[in-house]
Structure 1
Amino acid sequence: MDLFSAFEQRPLQAINEIDVARKLQEQLKTINLETEPKLYADMLAFQFLDNYSSQPSTWGGHYQPSRYIQTDTGYEPYPNPGLITTTVLEFWQKQADILAHPVLCTRFSGLLYEFTQTITGTKVSYLTAQKYSTALIETVEEKLYTIEKYAVKKLAKALEVASSYNSNPLIQRIKTQIFALEQPIPITEEKNKWGFTFDLLLNGKKNWLDQKEELQVINTLESRLEYLKNVDPWASASSANRLAQYYQKKEKPDEVKRVILELGHAYQKKAATEISMQAAGQLDELLHIYRKYQLHTEAAKVLIQLRELGKKSNEEMKSVISEHTIDTTELKEHLEKIMVGDPETVFPLIVEMLIPQLEITKKELNDTAIKHPIPYLITNTLVDEKGRPVAQIGPIKTDFEGHLAQHSGRQLYMQSLLTHLLFTLATDKGYLSPENTMAFLKKSCILEPERFDIISRGIEAFFQKDYQIFAHLIIPQFEEAIRNLLEINGGNILVDKNKAYQLKTFHQLLDDPIILQVFGESTIHYLKILFTDPRGWNLRNRISHGMIAPNLINTHTAQRLFHALLILGMIRLIEKPIA
């Protein structure tokens, strides 16, 4: 059975490898491939997919599996190199030698080029590599591809292969086709369809251009920048970044600065027409560009702009108020039933109920991202009350921890009702009082007696609802208690910095394996969100450095800090008996 005769008829037609695979499946659906090794090899060849993305494939090469099949041990890629035998390679070699259609020849010679050494341990032959690169070039020369954007990808692969064995005649053909693809694209084209001549022939591993060709490419990029900077800053960025890279290599810093400043004017012009939130996003991009090219003075000016835009963004945000009446009767009744005993039993209950379980939080985040995906696909910059950028959270695929921290911080706000009910009930029933709290904390092995007075003053301030005093007194004691815990267990609280020993930061203390072992993963995550993570509440740093608005140190903030203080009270010394 000749599976490919229909594709070989003259004049040759543009074909797509996926369409070929579908037609093969139709032709072979009644054939037992186990008894037809040649037909099996043909079918297997077109089950692989070309990897035209910027990310490496499953095996790190050009080809990747078309799907994943569920097995008893999980999901396995199909096809995979384990299905390729020397017999399969022999059949592929025959097809590569006899088939006339460049697309078909590309597939068989390409698979040989990629997998021969893996399967046989023998380096692929020069003739196979030449056949592969030639077939790729002919596919573009004769316009036998069906997806326009893949033409450049095919030429890029052809250049990679041809340059590996220094085939200058083929490289000249590739250059001709690359120029032929880009030259017709007008200077006014805003979509980033151009620039590949620079990327492949001038800015790659080797400069393949002569002086005249190089000047032509650079002049075209300059013309695109000149036009696009007045139309679209993102399109002009594609030109400006390439030019800046070129001038950097040529050691022309003035030219680098010129093109980046022209790009900066384009961003500033666009930002001036946008609302503050959008303008801040655009200028944040510009800030990173300035920093990339070491334009520090310009970057500092943009930082000032971002702070002002952050303030305006908060003012422009409209409050959306939705009132709901929540019946707390059943919750109160439940808490009444379980809140019995003495402070030694009630305080641990409060501690446990208000620490979010990390695995549950992760599941909630994943579920939310599936139901409402858009916010989790983009990069977000978090700003404080004065518009200062404090953290950046990338797409959830690459920054799950960032989204988890932000989600955890929101979760603490969502628990404000439960937190308030617990504290109110514990106070009304006489468990939560200054005296009982101090008695509980004094049993902790990590709170030093000389600090009891200042802790007592802080607790008195809490019950007097002087939350500013409470927060400022208690947070330093918490940090010192964690240092004590680390030292008691033989850990190190110092770091060597600039030939001097300094105390570890609060965040570094919470990262220590000893502290993790004592508290557990959920509690450590909670404490980081509460005290040190800028994507969470970050109370330690915001309060210590005066970055938090006074009105935000409120009842709920204070109750969370008090809850953290109770966690310290649960750390008791267990003395090992002397042998």
Structure 2
Amino acid sequence: MPSTTADEPDFDLSPERIAELAALADAAAADAKLGWYEVSSALTDNRTDADIDAIAVAFDYRLQERVEGNSNPVFHAAHLTPITELPTSVTDLWAEVVDAAASSLVRARLHDLLFALGRQPKPEHAEQACRAYLELGAGSWSSLYRGRALARALDIARQMNRNDLADDVVKQITANARESLACAEWQPGVSLRLIGRLVEEKNPTPGVDDLLAAARARYAGDPYTEVDTAMLQRRLAKGDKDALERIDREIVGIWTKAAEASAGLQKLGYLTKAVDYARDHGQTDLLAAATTALQAIGIEDLEMQTFSVPVEMSGEEIGNWIGYFTQGADWRVCLARFSGGEQGTPPTGRIDENRAQVETLKKDAPLYSMIPYSKIGGDGLPRWEPQSEDDQEEQRLSDVEMFRMQMCAPLFAKALHEIGVVHHPIREEVEEFFAERTYLPPEMPRVLADALTRYWRQDYEACTYVLAPKIETMLRTLARAIDEPVYQTQRKNTPGKYVGLGTLLSTLGKHGLDESWDSYLSTLLAGPTGWNLRNELAHGFVDQVSAPMAALLVQAALYVASLVPRADDQQAPEAE
């Protein structure tokens, strides 16, 4: 059959059979209200006949949404033979049936397919497709599909330089847009699609301004739709600096007005959009006002909810897990085990397993992967939103890592506490222990000893603030030891500075830093998709430091302190 094979079928093209096929197609089209696929569905029971299947398959193809600047049609369906590879006998059959068909739906699709294939007479197929689409656009089809038919008609008319046909289509598009705007039910997907097609015209008709003004008034209650409409106005005003300035200020105003009528996360979202748009379009005064309003939102205003999920572990399981870290010969052995995580695995787990978990989640919970993501900082202000599919993938991986990290953090906290209880390390001996490390900065043995002592005294805040900046110091020293540049000299008005933590991790990753540990350190300390704990602490946005948080920082610091360049090539870091 033509839907699945390129074999050349032999059809009966007698007038009688063609009339039968045209009548079948017309009857199938008579009940279609929502799209071309309904014609194909209506012919399903008869598709065992090769010629009926060849007619039905014409309505299986989907006309791809128009891409700006390209009116060439792309008919496609993943399971179908590309139209350019269909047997000639199939297109011969279409050409015969379309001449006998009465339905505008049938004529529009078959003439359009023949036109797209370059079937001669091409101008005739173009005109007939255009006129049939016009009939559909003025008919009783659903408003959305009527709009699509008219947009396609205008594309064909412009492609064939038929200004007479284009004028007729523009008039019908205008009428349909006004009808949609006047409808009691909101139809922005219809009206803005139609108006947007008029805006794309090389010389838009004068009435487009009025349509856009009417759409702005009609959809004023929805900031997203009103902004979409204003963006069409902006496009229409291309080259008019005064008009563009006015519209840009109006768009910022739409978001700020919506924010004033909102609360919580919704208000935060609207103000963020106002700030972004004002910044990107040079509205300095509006940027300052929107930013001030954004800063006034407190974390308590967001009404965030905490969700907790109990995880059951027996006392024996917990005891065995903690015992691995605490039952060494002395505290030195225990700290060495603790620095390596769970049997050499970081608290976030192995990265290959986490990636596999991401793929499982995408299959088992597809909605989770589709929901927009926005990360809020400890001060209640927006920090991060994925901007691309790569960003989305990075965020999904970070989510899995943070879940695992938060699951095991209390266990690490308990294990570190028990090391102190069981072995009673002496602070001076701890400092001497770390002083034996070759690649530690001179002050780090004292810092590590102080941090551990403060942890064992349950002074978690002091422990955390002592360690947070020093992990970066150790990584920087390690990068310098393998002759990597870590300092950037002054550039114009930008003073000299060291590269950031993220850059350091990326650099060390290229030199052999274990990928799982690299990802863990980024998620914990510096990655915008993760905790970003180093920055949140440095800016004072962590109100309360818990034992699990402090334990993770200690564990990360001890791991980094254990890294040395490999002896064989002095290039890649490894744990001692």
Q: Tell me, in whole angstroms, the C-alpha distance in 1 between the residues paired with 2:442 and 2:37.
A: 75
How many residue pairs align between the two structures? 540
* Structure 1 Cα separation of the partners of residues 127 and 560 of structure 2: 71
Pick aligned residue for 1:222 from 210, 213, 216: 213
| Residue type of the alignment partner of 2:383 | V
Q: Distance in 2 between matches of 1:93 and 1:488?
A: 75
Say whether the 8 Å CA contact 1:408–1:529 is kept in structure 2. yes
For 1:36-47, what aligned pairs fall within 5 Å after superposition?
A: 38=51, 41-47=54-60
Secondary structure of the residue aligned to 1:3 is helix
Instruction: Give the Cα separation in 2 of the matches to 1:160 and 1:560.
Output: 60
Q: What is the aligned partner in structure 1 of residue 521 from structure 2? A: 527
Distance 1:8 1:233, change over 3 A: closer
The structure-2 alpha-carbon separation of the partners of 1:335 and 1:124, relative to structure 1 and needing over 3 Å to count, comes to: farther
Aligned-partner SS, 2:374: strand
What is aligned with 2:509?
515
Contact 1:277 1:310 in 2 (8 A): no
1:195 equivalent to 2:184? Answer: no
Q: Which runs of 5+ in 2 are unaligned?
A: 1-16, 571-576
| Residue in structure 1 matched with residue 64 of structure 2 by the alignment | 51
Does residue 167 in structure 1 map to residue 139 in structure 2? no
Partner of 2:563: 571
Partner of 1:241: 231
Matched, 1:542 2:536: yes
Structure 2 CA distance for aligned equivalents of residues 182 and 102 of structure 1: 21
After TM superposition, list the pairs within 5 Å mapping 1:96-245 onto structure 2. Answer: 96-114=98-116, 125-141=122-138, 143=139, 146-186=141-181, 190-192=186-188, 193-201=190-198, 203-204=199-200, 206-209=202-205, 214=206, 216-226=207-217, 228-229=219-220, 231-245=221-235
Inter-CA distance 91–398: structure 2 relative to 1 (3 Å threshold): farther
* Structure 2 contact 46–52 (Cα < 8 Å) conserved: no
Q: Distance between the aligned counterparts of 2:349 and 2:541, measured in 1?
A: 24
> Partner letter of residue 279 of structure 1?
K
Cα RMSD, aligned residues only: 4.1
Distance in 2, Cα, partners of 1:577 & 1:12: 77
* Matched position secondary structure for 1:409: helix
Is contact 1:306–1:387 with CA below 8 Å preserved after alignment?
Answer: no
Structure 2 vs 1, CA of residues 330 and 318 (structure 1 numbering), >3 Å: closer, same or farther? Answer: closer
Q: Does 1:7 align with 2:25?
A: yes
Distance 2:212 2:562 in 1: 66
Q: Determine the C-alpha separation between the residues in 1 that align with 2:441 and 2:106.
A: 78
Q: Secondary structure at the match of 1:390?
A: strand
User: Does the aligned pair in 1 maintain the 2:130–2:153 contact within 8 Å?
Assistant: yes
Question: Secondary structure of 1:405's match?
Answer: helix
Measured after TM superposition, the shift of residue 177 of structure 1 is 1.4
Aligned-pair CA distance for 1:55: 11
Out of 543, 549, 569, the position equivalent to 1:557 is 549
Inter-partner Cα distance in structure 1 for 2:217 and 2:107: 43
Rounded Cα–Cα distance in structure 1 between residues aligned with 2:479 and 2:465: 23
- How far apart in 1 are the matches of 2:469 and 2:121? 66
Matches of residues 451-470 of structure 1 in structure 2 within 5 Å? Answer: 451-470=444-463
Q: Tell me if the contact between 2:26 and 2:106 (Cα under 8 Å) persists in the aligned partners.
A: no
Correspondence 1:382-531 to 2 at 5 A: 382-393=375-386, 399-430=392-423, 441=434, 444=437, 446-449=439-442, 451-494=444-487, 498=491, 502-512=497-507, 514-516=508-510, 518-531=512-525
Q: 1:19 aligns with which of 35, 38, 44?
A: 38
Matching residue of 1:286 = 274
Whether contact under 8 Å (1:218, 1:243) holds in the other structure is: yes
- CA offset digits 1:266-310 (Å, max 9, x no partner): 554544443333322233333344345432311221122122224
* TM-superposed deviation, 1:541: 1.7
Secondary structure at the aligned position of 1:576 is classed as: coil
1:72 aligned partner: none
- Could you tell me how far apart the structure 2 residues matched to 1:147 and 1:228 are? 21
CA distance in 1, matches of 2:301, 2:374: 12
Closer/same/farther in 2, CA of residues 564 and 492 from structure 1, 3 Å limit: same
Aligned with 1:386: secondary structure? coil
Task: State how far apart, in whole Å, the 1-side matches of 2:170 and 2:512 are.
Answer: 64
Q: Could you state the TM-score of these two structures normalised by the residue count of structure 2?
A: 0.79
Q: Per-residue displacement from partner, 1:344-389 (whole Å, max 9, x unpaired)?
A: 5634354526242234334555656777666654434333333222
How many angstroms does 1:10 deviate by?
13
Pair 1:277–1:196, CA change in 2 (3 A): closer
Q: Is the 8 A contact 2:29 2:38 kept in 1?
A: no
Deviation at 1:522, TM superposition (A): 1.9
| Superposition TM-score, scaled by structure 1 size | 0.78
Query: Which amino acid counterpart does residue 133 of structure 1 have in structure 2?
Result: C
- Asked if 1:331 is matched to 2:318, the reply is yes
1:459–1:379 Cα change, 3 Å: same
Residue 417 of structure 2 contacts residue 456 of structure 2 at CA under 8 Å; is this kept in 1? no
Letter in 2 for 1:515: G
Instruction: Give, in whole Å, the separation in 1 of the partners of 2:454 and 2:517.
Output: 26
Q: What is the alpha-carbon distance in structure 2 between the residues aligned to residue 275 and residue 450 of structure 1?
A: 48
**Aligned pair 1:84/2:86, yes or no?**
yes
1:180 is displaced (CA, Å) by 1.9
CA distance in 1, matches of 2:156, 2:566: 67
Structure 1: how far apart are the matches of 2:266 and 2:390? 23
Is contact 1:133-1:161 (8 Å) kept?
A: yes
Any idea what the Cα deviations from partners look like across 1:426-481, whole Å, max 9, x if unmatched?
A: 33443977577656655655424464344444444444444444334433332233
Deviation (angstroms), 1:100: 4.1
State the secondary structure of the residue aligned to 2:375: strand
Q: 460-469 or 47-56: which moved more?
A: 47-56
**Gap runs ≥5 in structure 1:** 68-76, 117-121
Contact 1:530 1:539 in 2 (8 A): yes
> Structure 1 residues 371, 439: closer, same or farther in 2, change over 3 A?
farther
